[in-house]
Amino acid sequence: MQNHAYSRLGSFGGGAAVPSPPGKRASVKGGGPARTGAGVSAGWAGGAARRAARVVLAALLRRQAVFLFAPLLYVAAMLLYMGSISLDSVPRIISRPAPGSMYRSPQLYARLRADMDADNATDALATVWRHAYKGGVWRPCISNNTNGLPESNGYIYVEANGGLNQQRTSICNAVAVAGFLNATLVIPNFHYHSIWRDPSKFSDIYDEDHFIQHLKNDVRVVDKVPEFIMERFGHNLSNVFNFKIKAWSSIQFYEDVVLPKLIEERLIRISPFANRLSFDAPPAVQRLRCLANFEALKFSKPITSLSDTLVSRMREKSAENNGKYVAVHLRFEEKELDAARERGWRGKFTRPGRIIRPGAIRMNGKCPLTPLEVGLMLRGMGFSNNTAIYLASGRIYKAEKNMAPLLEMFPLLQTKETLASDEELAPFKNFSSRMAAIDYSVCVHSEVFVTTQGGNFPHFLIGHRRYLYGGHAKTIKPDKRRLAILFDSPRIGWKALKRQLVNMRVHSDAKGIEIKRANESVYTFPCPDCMCRSNKSEHSKSIQAR
């Protein structure tokens, strides 16, 4: 019986195992052809390869887990392949900053300055406000109480904290609360703050007599708590019950919670008081806010006297433009002030883990405009280089360097320091709130007010200008997101830039008259709570009467 060698793998086709035929020795003497040495070697090599493949395949089939390593083998092969390719042949991905994220305004100014200087044909001051009297205008219409006041429910003492205009918010809200609760208001105490470092009292900034007299038919106001009341508390205000009221509380809260305690104690304190009354309130409360802010609060005589002088000097310097000038509120102050704010705000902006992205902040319009950008914007909006500019600001950061481009574009630029002598400014110089009051007064009377950053100063000023100028703010409030992109455009020409900026100016004109909406301040939007609509003829008569 012959032994046959059987394949242990079977056929690749998956059929039954087929026995290999028995090998036959080739005979030289036989009838078949003899194999050469090369043929024998090739046949042996082919058979060896087949046998090796079969052994490997058999091993893989026995251990299928080996296939788990296939991805690793693939990655290794790709790494070997990539290592053999020159990096010069791989395309590079270039990361470009997002439009508006870079501060390239100096380069833009250098490139466009010649065209800007050559374009001095138009003057925006003559045509800046086109929408002021469309659809009728508004006039102040705060009614006065003529019915007399009932007996007071007690005394309210508040502490007004913050800077000039935050304190103004506290004063006006205190008048509204006291009037609504039929209480007597004690002249607010100004809280000394480590940031503002201004020890000024109410009478240093406002005309106290005018304030008391103008409110006498609506709210009782006294300069101090009477002695017979203070005796109950040992002549010590710290013994008086102090309400800690949440921000933006409703007037109903004061009636439900504060009034019973007021009647019981006859004297209460509310400290701090800034932003402790909601924007929205009944008409009676809004009327008192309007009366306090637009009529009763008048700056003290020293401040008013110097402010009137500076306004007259600005009008003299803008004689070529019929006494019209532009006022700009610039927030580009010294780093020391930022550091002081950081200390006062308890690390709000530098707390661990907080990531500040300057590019994103700039793109979102949150960065203050630099003096150079203010100049570029105003020249692009059509204001010629003979326009008189009043700059309201604190100490400018690196003033000599940063103010140079703005002075090149507007050589008639003035500040309170350049308009007034050292002797005239001496009584106010070390008092930030008094200095801010001077800026406020000069800005109120400008033909154009330009705000470059948010804050209480422009919010109050815009509302005050609306109250004085028929409901129109006469204010340019630029779209700083759009400005960031325009000033970061490497190929934009002067004509294209000017076209965009003039459109921005026109938009501010169209938005000059706005009606107060829910959750907006009556101090910024006095229509319709403090003002009534009138026609053009009535407005003309009121102007002639002035």
Q: Where are the domains of the chain?
A: 104-130+300-446+473-512, 155-295
Residue 20 pLDDT greater than 60, yes or no: no
- Cβ atoms within 10 Å, residue 180: 19
The single residue listed with the structure tokens 């002549």 is 235
State mean pLDDT over 318-327.
96
Give the model's pLDDT for residue 536: 59
Q: What is the pLDDT of residues 195-206, one digit of tens each?
A: 667 899 999 999
Residue 12 pLDDT greater than 50, yes or no: no
Give the model's pLDDT for residue 202: 97
Give the model's pLDDT for residue 194: 59
Give the model's pLDDT for residue 138: 94
Chain CA centroid to CA 375, Å: 20
Look at 61-65, 236-240, 321-325 and tell me which has the smallest mean pLDDT.
61-65
Q: What is the pLDDT of residues 142-174, one digit of tens each?
A: 988 888 899 999 999 999 988 899 999 999 999
Give the model's pLDDT for residue 365: 85
Picking from 168, 98, 49, 152, the residue whose alpha carbon sits closest to that of residue 457 is: 168
Report strand pairing: 267-270 vs 242-243.
Answer: parallel
Look at 17-26, 149-158, 477-486 and tell me which has the smallest mean pLDDT.
17-26
Picking from 198, 165, 184, the residue whose alpha carbon sits closest to that of residue 174 is: 184
Distance, CA of 233 to CA of 98 (rounded, Å): 63
Of the pLDDT bands very low, low, confident and very high (cuts 50, 70, 90), residue 18 is very low
Residue 399 or residue 321, greater confidence: 321
Average pLDDT, the chain: 84
Q: What is the pLDDT of residues 183-192, one digit of tens each?
A: 999 999 998 8
Of the pLDDT bands very low, low, confident and very high (cuts 50, 70, 90), residue 33 is very low
Q: What is the pLDDT of residues 78-107, one digit of tens each?
A: 666 656 656 555 566 667 788 888 899 999
Q: What is the pLDDT of residues 267-284, one digit of tens each?
A: 999 998 989 999 999 999
Residue 291 near residue 526 (C-beta atoms within 8 A) = no
List own/partner pairs for 282-287 with CB under 8 A and 24 or more apart: 282/251, 283/529, 284/179, 284/180, 285/176, 285/179, 285/180, 285/251, 286/176, 286/522, 286/529, 286/530, 287/142, 287/143, 287/529, 287/530
Q: Which amino acid is residue 485, in one-letter code?
A: I
State mean pLDDT over 356-382.
88
DSSP class per residue in 142-206: -PPP-S-------EEEEEE-SSHHHHHHHHHHHHHHHHHTT-EEEPPEEPP-TTT-----HHHHB
Look at 73-87, 113-127, 136-150 and tell me which has the smallest mean pLDDT.
73-87
Residue 498 or residue 63, greater confidence: 498
> On the CB side of 541, how many CA atoms lie within 13 Å of its CA?
6
Compute the C-alpha angle 318/455/247, nearest 5°: 150
Residue 448 pLDDT greater than 90, yes or no: yes
